[in-house]
A and B are shown apart, each in its own frame.
Chain A
Amino acid sequence: MVAESSNAPVAAKVDELFQRRWPDGNPAANAEVARYVTTVVGHTIDRQYVWRIRTGRVKKIDVPVLEAIGEYFGETLAYFSGKAPADEDLAQLLAATGLEISGFRSAALTAAGRRELQRVLVEANEIMRAARDPRSGSDHVG
């Protein structure tokens, strides 16, 4: 199974993860991620290969490799395709509803987990609104 062959957007997404994690750069970043990916996929992924993915030089990226890279940074495959709410979307929802997460019991979030988190945040907002005013007048966003 491989990701789509035109990998410029995927490469940019991968590189963005590195920039976000190490905004000042880190000479050991590719090696660090390569070690993690190697552990997850069960065969050797070297730092040069990670660098080639980041720079769009890999035509076809194995999905397990891409998934492991995402997992390292706390993202799922959906991050690369934009199908599930990203951290920023969830943060915006929290801000809009005036809610904050106190605890979270989960494995690393899959795309389905992110959608579920989004759903229950909306549900929590509804419950808060109903509890504050049964006639549904409140400052919570619906």
Chain B
Amino acid sequence: MLINDRVRRLVPVPFVIEAFVENVAREIGKPVHWVPSLSSGTGMTGLSVRCRTTGAAVIFSPAAAPPDYAAHCVGHESWHLLEGHLCTARDASSAYRDGWPGWLARRREHEAERFAKRIGLAAAPSGSVVSDDRTRRLASAFGLYAG
């Protein structure tokens, strides 16, 4: 099964989010940056953005999320990158879409959630999900956020 295979390949032991992101980058063959900078109160809990020319990607997760929740959000967005999904701001702006676009969007979200949950289950036996804070320190060095 595709999801199970990917989980086995991508989940590091012990589970460190940065290492997981590096594995995702290796899987898609492009650089992937993780930036936990999404503000609370905006409704946004994850976003993955890709450069059209280079294929490099950035995954955003909530700034104040505990590591296990951050891992879930990063896992969810990773699935979109692994599957090469593409959506517009309009696609994302409403949960109430009918017809084919709505069905497709809901199916993709469902798959991404399944993958994220499997990531969490696979990571659990290796202990608590942790972040080595490299991403946060690197982004802080660029002055992207104060945290």
Contact status B52-A98, CB under 8 Å = yes
Contact status A127-B35, CB under 8 Å = yes
Contact status B144-A126, CB under 8 Å = yes
Contact status A131-B33, CB under 8 Å = yes
A87 at the interface (CB under 8 A from B): yes
> How many A residues touch the partner, as a band?
35 or more
0/1 interface trace, chain B 25-51, chain A, CB 8 Å (1 if under)? 000000101010111011111111111
Known: A72-B96, A74-B93, A98-B51. A103 touches B38 (CB 8 A): no
Kindly provide the distance from the CB of A123 to the nearest chain B CB, expressed in whole angstroms: 6
Kindly provide the distance from the CB of B93 to the nearest chain A CB, expressed in whole angstroms: 4
Q: Which 10 A-B pairs have the closest CB atoms?
A: A103-B80, A74-B94, A105-B46, A104-B92, A90-B89, A116-B42, A102-B48, A74-B93, A103-B48, A124-B58
15 A-B pairs within 8 Å (CB atoms) are namely A99-B49, A102-B86, A102-B87, A103-B77, A104-B87, A106-B44, A106-B45, A108-B94, A108-B95, A110-B42, A110-B43, A120-B44, A120-B47, A127-B33, A132-B56
